[in-house]
Every structure is written in C-alpha cells, then in structure tokens.
Amino acid sequence: MELFKEFMFEAAHRLPHVPDGHKCGRLHGHSFKVAVYIEGEVDPHTGWIRDFSEIKAIFKPLYEQLDHNYLNDIPGLENPTSEVLAKWIWQQLKPLLPELSRIRIHETCTSGCEYRGD
C-alpha cells in the first residue's frame, strides 16, 4: 500500500539556464506543494504504514530550509526546476525514510513532476 503526506511552502527562484527573455529566467515565486509518498505493508497492530506525524517531523528541517527562501541559494538547487527540486528532496529524505516511493512537486495548480528515485 502507498500513502502520502502533503506539504506547502512559498519560495522564490529563477532558472539560470533558460533562453534569454524566457519568463522563468526572471526572479519569481511559487506556492509549491510537495507530496511525500511511502510504500509498505500495513502494520496489523497500528493499522498504518507509518504515522503521519513521523513523516511531518522528518520533513520539517527541509520545510524550514525551503519555505520563504530563495531556492537558488540552497546547495544543490542552483538550477531549481521542479525536476531538480523533486530529486533533491528525494536525496534528503531517502536516508531518513527508507520506504520513500516517490516525490510529487506542484509548482502551480496545473504543472509539476514526480520522481521515483530512478
């Protein structure tokens, strides 16, 4: 079974490798939504795969690093596309959350990506 926990954060960024004049090359911000998915067996005693509050606690340091920040200043996010951000979050969480199965990023209501560790 797979479960997810969603987080919202506000951040600014610019994409340094887009063609001249591209709107994403200018400083702008998003209300990002991140969904952290984990996969595993449901514990017959607790009835869950993992306590949602544990996932929240594990994500909290990342949230504090990302929220109301300029993403380009964070090591590893110098080119903070949704794809790069999803992979970066995966790399931070996987050692702490071995059952992590995917990261979903929404940078707008209609645009985003998913990363499954491959």
Among candidate residues 24, 54, 83, 113, the one labeled active-site is 24
Find out whether 45 is annotated in a ligand binding site: no
Sequence-ordered strand ranges (E) for the chain: 2-13, 28-39, 69-70, 100-106, 112-115
Find out whether 28 is annotated in a ligand binding site: yes
* Parallel, antiparallel or unpaired: strands 112-115 and 100-106: antiparallel
Catalytic site residue 68? yes
Among candidate residues 2, 64, 68, 114, the one labeled active-site is 68
Other C-beta atoms closer than 10 Å to the C-beta of 25 total 14
In angstroms, the first-to-last Cα distance of the chain is 20
Other C-beta atoms closer than 10 Å to the C-beta of 26 total 10
Find out whether 17 is annotated in a ligand binding site: no
Q: Any idea which residues carry the catalytic annotation?
A: 24, 68, 107
Known binding residues: 13, 28, 30
Known binding residues for Zn(2+): 13, 28, 30
